[in-house]
Amino acid sequence: MIIYGHRSTSIGSTKIPYEVCPNCNHEGAMSLHIFSNYAHIFWIPLFPFRKYVVAHCANCDAAFDKKQQSESIKREASLAKGMYKSPIWTFSGVGVLGVIIIAGTILSNKSNEEEKKFIADPKVGDEYTLKVENDYTLAKVFSVQDSIVGIAVNEFSINKITKVYKLKTEKAEHFTDTTYLTFSELLEMHTEGTLVVIDR
Spatial distance between the Cα atoms of 168 and 33, rounded to a whole number of angstroms: 62
Rounded to a whole number, what is the distance in angstroms from the first to the last CA of the chain?
Answer: 35
| Residues 186 and 119: beta-carbon distance below 8 Å | yes
Element (DSSP H or E) covering residue 92 = helix 92-120
> What confidence score (pLDDT) does residue 78 get?
92
The sign of the torsion formed by the CA atoms of 65, 67, 71, 74 equals positive
| Whole-prediction pTM | 0.52
Given a cut of 50, the residues of the chain with pLDDT beneath it are: none
Q: What is the mean pLDDT of the chain?
A: 86
**What DSSP state is assigned to residue 159?**
S
Element (DSSP H or E) covering residue 82 = helix 71-83
> What confidence score (pLDDT) does residue 14 get?
94
Condensed to tens digits (0 to 9), the pLDDT of residues 66-99 reads 999 999 999 999 999 989 998 888 888 877 777 7
Q: In what order do the strands lie in the sheet with 148-153?
A: 177-182, 148-153, 135-145, 127-132, 195-199
**What DSSP state is assigned to residue 23?**
T
